[in-house]
Amino acid sequence: MKKTQKILVATRSTPEVVLDRKGVIKMSGRLIPINEYFCDPAEITSIDINLEYINSTGYKYLFYLIHKIVDVRLGNNIERFQINWYYRNEDEDMLEKGRFFSTNLNVPFNFIMIS
């Protein structure tokens, strides 16, 4: 039997989200985004990405997220930002995806091979 709902549990500052396969998304509770980090970020912000697989939709979301962090939140100051992109030795596809991100976002990545 297929699960018909995915439930993301509410916290003090995030709502409960119910994703229903019938096409209904329900949100209830509180939504209080906290962007304190980006108001006063560390000297260098580092993102570690270690994915086994990413589909095309996830790829678009990740691209958008990194773009927003770099462009909007860190004022396009790439000296204050680094991305560590981990990939498996035999996984040329994930390495190429990381290279695409780096080139198209104009952000240097550290490519780290893992076994």
Whether 108 has a pLDDT exceeding 80, the answer reads yes
Q: Say yes or no: 87 and 109 in one domain.
A: yes
What pLDDT band is residue 109 in, cutting at 50, 70 and 90? Answer: very high
Q: Say yes or no: 28 and 45 in one domain.
A: no
Q: Say yes or no: 68 and 15 in one domain.
A: no
Total tally of structural domains belonging to the chain: 2
Whether 1 has a pLDDT exceeding 60, the answer reads no
Q: Say yes or no: 46 and 23 in one domain.
A: no
In one-letter notation, the amino acid at residue 74 is L
CA-based end-to-end distance of the chain: 37
Report the pLDDT value the prediction gives residue 106, as an integer from 0 to 100: 84
Q: What is the mean pLDDT of residues 76-105?
A: 89
Q: Say yes or no: 26 and 52 in one domain.
A: no
| DSSP-assigned letters across all residues of the chain | ----EEEEPP-SSS-EEEEETTTEEEEES------HHHHS--SSEEEEEE-S---HHHHHHHHHHHHHIIIIISTT-GGGEEEEEEEETT-HHHHHHHHHHHHHHT--EEEEEE-
Q: Say yes or no: 30 and 52 in one domain.
A: no
Q: What is the mean pLDDT of residues 90-101?
A: 95
Neighbours of 62 (CB within 10 A): 16
Report the pLDDT value the prediction gives residue 76, as an integer from 0 to 100: 59
In one-letter notation, the amino acid at residue 108 is P
Domain range holding 11? 1-34
What pLDDT band is residue 16 in, cutting at 50, 70 and 90? Answer: very high
Instruction: Give pTM, 2 decimals.
Output: 0.69
pLDDT digits (tens, 9 = 90+) for 35-86: 666 677 777 888 899 999 999 999 998 998 888 877 765 665 667 778 899 9
